[in-house]
């Protein structure tokens, strides 16, 4: 399936002739050969650290992906993520000899991270504890673009500068693997280097407070305390996730088709306006109404509007289940478009704003575009006071949970690619199917897939017909339960 020979790779950025770089590489290659031989015959005190790293990557990389790991060493981490196709790259022949013997089902290639010979496309690229050892981090990042498409995620972890003195002392005492002089990089350094190499960082966080094998205590410290301030300031390793910058990889030739899903319950008075005000986008726009057990004539109003607008691509579905989340899932399952949008039938978000969401998604500025009602002033009766407070609290909780800024978790207007939604739906069992609103289901799912979530501020309007279907106290308690559940599944891995 994959041709791994240098001849198949096509042109790569040529290695520079700096003698110091050649000497640097030779010293490290020899050093890691010696380390690999030593570790093969002795027990390392770093076992707890590496098991924790493997656990984190198993959470970040769903099983069955095509995975490339650069600086793979003995191949344990690559095997741990259970790839459908796994390719490990290292310049230590001794490390690769051991990796091939242990994991014959994976492919291992000897190469320098600064001149990679690989050109197939991977879903995930892993750099674990590698950037601290590289001659030129930017050049290595540049090489990785050749193995990526617009959906690829680069995941890397590297030591924190806070741990430079403790690790130096541990090496001198023989308690940690000896390493040569390291690059001690900050998160800001990493963000700058990624952007210089046409990668776009999407989020970062910290892990591992106690890298020793201490029963029970180690689990509690690393799963929980390491995620809470002030303990976050003393953690050992930084994690960063990045995607190829939109300008470097997005090559869609044809405008996509758009499906606008309109959950509608007791909204008969708004249907005609939705038809009149929803613009055509992309290669064509279909309106999919999902009518949910209305007490007024919403279903009849939709049927009449469809008959009165034969030029519009529109249809209506009868919801069998309950809740907006169920309606959205039904609409998404029936949608034919490449882009999926949610528009609340109450028209508190103007249909005229939808092209802004379309442009943000299609241009690659984000992969999940989330409407935000909390930036611009609202119309007087648009949101009740306690609803506003609740929205602000949940937005802060979401931002902390998923590691990306989400200013408004409950705005009904959300836009994403249909292909990404299909992946969210396929992984829904990870969180469970208990979100009646659909907002958490989509946001948690997008975060699980490491999609870049981008907030798009809109003007939130006052209702002109009907009443809200939200029961703030009952639904608020349910939302809190979902946040606590998600914290266990996302944050405290």
pLDDT digits (tens, 9 = 90+) for 268-304: 999 999 999 999 999 999 999 999 999 999 999 999 9
What pTM does this model have?
Answer: 0.83
Most confidently modeled of 21-25, 226-230, 487-491? 226-230
Q: Would you give the DSSP letter of residue 33?
A: H
What are 417's strand-pairing partners? 339
Domain 6-249 bears CATH identifier 3.40.50.10860: no
Query: Is the pLDDT higher at 63 or at 399?
Result: 63
pLDDT of residue 400: 83
pLDDT over 90 at 198, yes or no? yes
Residue 468: its pLDDT value, please? 57
The rounded distance, in Å, linking the Cα atoms of 175 and 177 is 7
> Which pairing describes strands 368-372 and 453-457: parallel, antiparallel, or unpaired?
parallel
Instruction: Evaluate if residue 16 carries a pLDDT over 60.
Output: no
Rounded CA gap, 197 and 247, in Å? 12
pLDDT above 50 for 5 = no
CATH superfamily of 258-491: Spore Coat Polysaccharide Biosynthesis Protein SpsA; Chain A (3.90.550.10)
Distances, alpha carbon 172 to alpha carbons 29, 33, 47, 168, 175, in Å? 21, 20, 18, 6, 8
Q: What is the pLDDT of residues 299-347, one digit of tens each?
A: 999 999 999 999 999 999 999 998 889 999 999 999 999 999 999 999 9
What are the sequence ranges of the domains in the chain? 6-249, 258-491
CA atoms of 420 and 448, how far apart (whole Å): 11
Q: Could you check whether 6-249 and 258-491 share the same CATH topology? A: no
Would you place residue 173 in the very low, low, confident or very high pLDDT band (cuts 50, 70, 90)? confident
Cα distance between residue 285 and residue 220, in whole Å: 50
Phi, psi of 94 (to 5 degrees): -65, -40
pLDDT at 242 (0 to 100): 97
Q: What does the pLDDT read at residue 250?
A: 52
How many beta carbons lie within 10 A of that of residue 68, not counting itself?
A: 30
Model pLDDT, residue 13: 42
User: Would you state the pLDDT for residue 1?
Assistant: 45
Q: Which ranges of 151-270 does DSSP label H, i.e. alpha helix?
A: 164-172, 187-196, 217-223, 246-249
Phi, psi of 318 (to 5 degrees): -95, 120
Residue % of the chain over a pLDDT of 70: 86
**pLDDT tens string 436-479:** 667 788 988 898 899 999 999 988 888 666 665 555 556 567 67
Contact 178, 171 (CB under 8 A): yes
pLDDT at 8 over 50: no
Looking at per-residue confidence, does 6 or 57 come out higher? 57
Q: Is 180 helix (H, G, I), strand (E, B) or coil?
A: coil
């Amino acid at each position: 399936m994959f041709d791994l020979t240098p001849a198949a790779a096509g042109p790569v950025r040529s290695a520079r002739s700096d003698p110091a770089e050649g000497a640097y590489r030779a010293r490290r290659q020899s050093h890691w050969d010696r380390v690999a031989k030593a570790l093969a015959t002795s027990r390392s005190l770093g076992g707890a650290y590496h098991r924790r790293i493997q656990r984190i990557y198993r959470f970040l990389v769903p099983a069955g992906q095509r995975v490339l790991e650069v600086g793979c060493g003995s191949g344990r981490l690559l095997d741990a993520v259970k790839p459908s196709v796994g390719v490990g790259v290292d310049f230590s022949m001794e490390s690769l000899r051991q990796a091939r013997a242990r994991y014959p089902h994976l492919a291992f290639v000897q190469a320098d991270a600064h001149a990679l010979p690989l050109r197939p496309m991977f879903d995930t690229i892993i750099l674990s504890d590698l950037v601290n050892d590289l001659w030129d981090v930017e050049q290595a990042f540049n090489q990785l673009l050749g193995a990526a498409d617009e959906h690829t995620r680069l995941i890397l972890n590297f030591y924190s500068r806070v741990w430079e003195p403790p690790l130096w002392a541990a090496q001198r005492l023989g308690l940690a693997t000896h390493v040569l002089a390291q690059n001690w990089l900050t998160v800001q350094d990493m963000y700058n280097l990624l952007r210089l190499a046409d990668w776009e960082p999407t989020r970062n966080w910290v892990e591992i407070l106690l890298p020793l094998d201490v029963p029970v205590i180690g689990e509690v410290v690393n799963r929980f305390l390491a995620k809470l301030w002030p303990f976050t300031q003393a953690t050992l390793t930084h994690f960063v996730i990045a995607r190829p910058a939109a300008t470097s990889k997005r090559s869609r030739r044809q405008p996509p088709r758009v499906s606008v899903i309109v959950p509608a319950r007791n909204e008969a008075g708004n249907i005609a306006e939705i038809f009149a005000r929803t613009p055509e986008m992309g290669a064509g726009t279909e309106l999919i109404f999902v009518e949910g057990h209305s007490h007024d004539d919403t279903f009849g109003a939709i049927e009449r509007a469809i008959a009165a607008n034969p030029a519009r691509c529109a249809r209506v579905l009868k919801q069998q289940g309950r809740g907006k989340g169920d309606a959205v899932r039904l609409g998404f399952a029936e949608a034919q478009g490449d882009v999926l949008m949610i528009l609340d039938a109450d028209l508190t978000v103007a249909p005229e704003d939808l092209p802004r969401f379309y442009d943000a998604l299609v241009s690659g500025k984000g992969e999940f575009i989330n409407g935000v009602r909390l930036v611009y002033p609202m119309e007087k009766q648009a949101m009740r006071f306690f609803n506003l407070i609740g929205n602000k609290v949940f937005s802060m909780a979401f931002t902390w949970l998923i590691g990306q800024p989400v200013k408004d978790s409950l705005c009904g207007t959300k836009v994403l690619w249909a292909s990404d939604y299909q992946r969210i739906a396929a992984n829904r069992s990870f969180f469970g199917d208990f979100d009646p609103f659909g907002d958490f289901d989509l946001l948690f799912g997008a975060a699980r897939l490491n999609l870049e979530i981008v907030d798009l501020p809109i003007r939130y309007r006052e209702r002109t017909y009907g009443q809200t279907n939200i029961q703030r106290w009952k639904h608020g308690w349910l939302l809190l339960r979902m946040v606590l559940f998600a914290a266990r599944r996302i944050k405290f891995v």
